[in-house]
Chains A and B, each alone.
Chain A
Amino acid sequence: MDITHYSHDLLAHLFQRMTLVREFELRAIEERRRGLIPGFIHSCVGQEATAVAACAALAQQDVITSTHRGHGHLLGKGGDPKFMMAELAGRSSGYCLGRGGSLHIADFDLGILGANGIVGGGFPIATGAALAFQMRREQRVALAFFGDGAINEGTFHESANLAGLWKLPVIFFCENNLYGEGTPQHKQAPIADLARRADSYGFPGVSVDGNDPIAVYEATQAARRRALAGDGPTLIEAKTYRFRGHYEGDPQVYREPGEMAAWRQRDPVPAFRARLLESGLFDEAQLVEMETAVQTELDVAVAFAAAAPLPVVDEALQGIYAETHEGLVF
């Protein structure tokens, strides 16, 4: 598909953020190995196009709910890698002051209502945010990221039904990476195209190539327009693949032989890079400059995290309720 009619800024943004997500994940994996990061990492290497392009189609005032595999969503929505890396490192300078970690990063100013450690936990929350926007007549949408595993949770059914019934401005964005943890999609659902599930709730479902940021961007934009027009939700199924385990350290015994190699041929980051060069809109030097800037930004992020203060233990007793009361925390 010809990309020359897209703005230079948009294409540059997609490439810059996809590169940032890829390199952030590789740095986080490395820093976990080196001991800076104590907790789980569920990396989204291979899924950069879904996260970044879906967020690129949203406006600043829109909100997202994210997942286990949320670093791409957060960076896509404008998250600062410094504060993310510091959170992963459990530092007081992190997004959640070191109380949340990778699975719980939130930034309400950026419209990030939170990553989520519970599979399917975000559907009702995004639905409720969309209800608030509808009731207040605001031109905002809520987008719920989730995986092919989460679509089998009851919360999907309940939320999709409610959102379809009330025509809420919500986008259900499924990143179908073919595996729910260690079990392939065909052993978790009796249909191949999960977008078909939308039929039951009276709104459209579309399946797109999740490794093509332009396809993802177009589908999300269309869903957003539909939501803002008052026509209700859309289910987008973006078919993609994760190149690493469910979590770092996962032995990945469940992969089909040859599957990884085939998907590597469709790695979204180099594929989009090649496409930008082919289009003639960007030259090699411009792309290298963006890539170098990403590395510099991540050098800064890692150094920031490593130098950031560790929480003092009393901080564990704060921020549980809006106010403190002796009878609340004792």
Chain B
Amino acid sequence: MREISYSEAIREAMSEEMRRDTAVFLVGEDVAVFGGVWGVSDGMLAEFGDERVRDTPISEAAIIGAGLGAALVGMRPIVEIMFGDFLMCGGDQIVNQAAKARFMSGGKANVPLTLRVTSGAPGSAAAQHSQSPESWFMNVPGIKIAAPSTPADAKGLLKTAVRGADPVLFFEHKMLYGETGPVPEDADFTVPFGQANVVRQGRDVTVIAVSIMVPKALAAADLLAAEGISVEVIDPRTLVPLDKETLIHSVAKTSRVIIAHEAHRRSGPGAEIAAMLAEEAVEYLDGPIIRVGAKNVPLPYSPVLENFVLPGVDDIVAAARLLASK
């Protein structure tokens, strides 16, 4: 299978869906002429024109809310928010409007709105451009949350989001854009939400890894294999809906679990996953559930500080050794 980058896979998904359905359009700050500040929509203006690949003023509430309004009358907008940190500028339109529109209207509102958002620390971007805000929104019923870790999942999950009828926060990790991998060329290739991927099979420890922590967990698994610790790596792919069954099945096999994400440890996605496992899988566990995540401080600027705060391969290795020793 041909290999393309995570960024190219997202562009391919958007372009295919825009060719397939005239209701799909891309809107956001610098998505057209600039090609997106991360270059994801590069070249799309030339193919689709400035009505369907649409630059906006810097107005996150209006952009997100306009996406919602267009979705309510039958369009399928893809809204790009260049930094997840900026979601708070449009927070009401996500949390109080888009997430609740269907429920408040007695199930009548269709909200096919995809919010493509970057997450994660790209290196010395400091506290307002580095966050991983997935779990801020996990507490809001009505939104779906995807966090792909591979080019193929990025393409397949994005197409599922665009074709769906619910608001989706689609988190793209900035440091994954350049990563390459095999991606199907089939224009109808999709990846369903709520289906975790067992990325690597193992016997001793399960690592449930979100987004960029998947490649880090795989690197940790290689190191641990050399020590005789067999690690199973699971990528939930979507946090809402969460594929509980696959996670529990793995924990039943290994009896030890680490949850790794780049978001802060406190109330990050791991808090919810850990609570779920404690409620539904505690009988399988031979040790504590360990969360690996960013320390509970704002992301610092200086690389020496940033590296200290962010979770890395060594944190997963240390956690796995600790669990395996029990």
Minimal Cβ-Cβ distance residue in A for B60: A158
Chain A residues positioned under 8 Å from B158 (CB to CB): none
B67 and A155: CB pair below 8 A?
no
Closest A residue, CB atoms, query B196: A327
* Chain A residues whose C-beta falls within 8 Å of the C-beta of B65 in the assembled complex: 121, 123-125, 127-128, 155, 159
- Cβ contact within 8 Å between A161 and B106: no
Contacts A65-B69, A123-B62, A127-B66 given; 15 further ones with Cβ under 8 A? A108-B72, A114-B101, A121-B65, A124-B62, A124-B65, A125-B65, A128-B70, A128-B72, A132-B70, A135-B25, A155-B92, A159-B59, A161-B62, A162-B66, A322-B110
- Which residues in window 61-96 of A have CB below 8 A to B? 63, 65, 94-96
- Which chain A residues border B286 with CB–CB below 8 Å? none
B109 within 8 Å of A (CB atoms)? yes
Closest 5 CB pairs of A and B: A124-B65, A128-B69, A319-B107, A327-B241, A128-B66
A98-B107 Cα distance, complex, nearest whole Å: 11
Check if B61 sits within 8 Å of A125, measured CB to CB.
no
Q: Does B46 contact A (CB under 8 A)?
A: no
Report the minimum CB–CB distance from A134 to chain B (whole Å). 9
Contact B69 A161 (CB under 8 A): no
What's the Cα separation between A117 and B96 when bound, in Å? 9
B243 to chain A, nearest CB (A): 6
Binds B, one of A36-44, A99-107, A230-238: A99-107
Question: A113 contacts the other chain (Cβ, under 8 Å)?
Answer: yes
Chain A interface residues toward B at CB < 8 A: 63, 65, 94-100, 104, 106-108, 113-114, 116-118, 121, 123-133, 135, 142, 154-155, 158-159, 161-162, 165, 318-323, 325-330
With a cutoff of 8 Å between Cβ atoms, the chain A residues found around residue B66 in the complex are: 124-125, 127-128, 131, 159, 162
- Taking CB as reference atom, which chain A residue is nearest B241? A327
**Which residue of chain B is the closest to A113 with respect to CB atoms?**
B72
Contact B59 A118 (CB under 8 A): no
In the complex, residue of chain B having the shortest beta-carbon distance to the beta carbon of A155 = B61
Bound: A128/B93 CA distance, A:
12
What is the chain B residue whose CB lies nearest that of A133?
Answer: B73
Number of interface residues of B (CB under 8 A): 52
B102 with A121: CB separation less than 8 A: no
Q: Distance in Å from the Cβ of B262 to the closest Cβ of chain A?
A: 22
A–B pairs, 26, beta carbons within 8 Å: A98-B106, A100-B104, A106-B104, A106-B109, A107-B108, A108-B105, A113-B73, A114-B105, A124-B69, A125-B97, A127-B69, A128-B66, A128-B67, A129-B72, A132-B70, A135-B25, A135-B51, A135-B70, A155-B62, A161-B57, A162-B59, A318-B107, A321-B142, A322-B166, A326-B245, A327-B238
User: Is B194 within 8 A of A325, CB to CB?
Assistant: yes
Taking CB atoms, residues of chain A closer than 8 Å to B200 are none
CA distance A118 to B97 in the complex (A): 9
For A104, the chain B residues whose CB sits under 8 A away are 100, 104-105
Provide the bound-state CA to CA distance between A174 and B74, in Å.
26
Question: Complex formed: what's the CA distance from A165 to B57 in Å?
Answer: 9
Find chain A residues with CB under 8 A from B109 CB. 106, 108, 114
Residue-wise interface mask of B (41-66) relative to A, using a CB-CB cutoff of 8 A (1 in contact, 0 not): 00000000001100011010111111
Bound-complex Cα distance A130 to B67 (A): 11
Q: Answer whether A319 and B103 are a contact pair too, CB < 8 Å, given A117-B96, A326-B244, A329-B141.
A: yes
Are A154 and B72 closer than 8 Å at their CB atoms? no
Partner of B61, one of A97, A124, A321: A124
Known pairs A158-B59, A322-B166; A100 contacts B142 (CB<8 A): no
In whole angstroms, what is the CA distance A97 to B107 when docked? Answer: 9
Known: A124-B68, A131-B66, A162-B62. A327 touches B75 (CB 8 A): no
**Which of B56, B61, B108 is within 8 Å of A154, CB to CB?**
B61
Determine how close the nearest CB of chain B comes to the CB of A162; give it in whole angstroms.
5
Candidates A128, A154, A155, A330; contact of B71 at CB < 8 Å: A128
**Interface 1/0 per residue, B98-122 and A, CB below 8 Å:** 0011111111111000000000000
Are A114 and B71 touching (Cβ within 8 A)? no
A98 to B103, CA, bound (A): 10
A319 touches B68 (CB 8 A): no
**Smallest distance from the beta carbon of B67 to chain A beta carbons, Å?**
6
> Which residue from chain A places its CB closest to the CB of B96 in the assembled complex?
A118
The reply to whether B106 and A97 form a contact with Cβ atoms under 8 Å apart is yes
**Residue ID in chain A nearest B99 by CB atoms:** A320
Query: Chain B's nearest CB lies how many Å from the CB of A224?
Result: 17
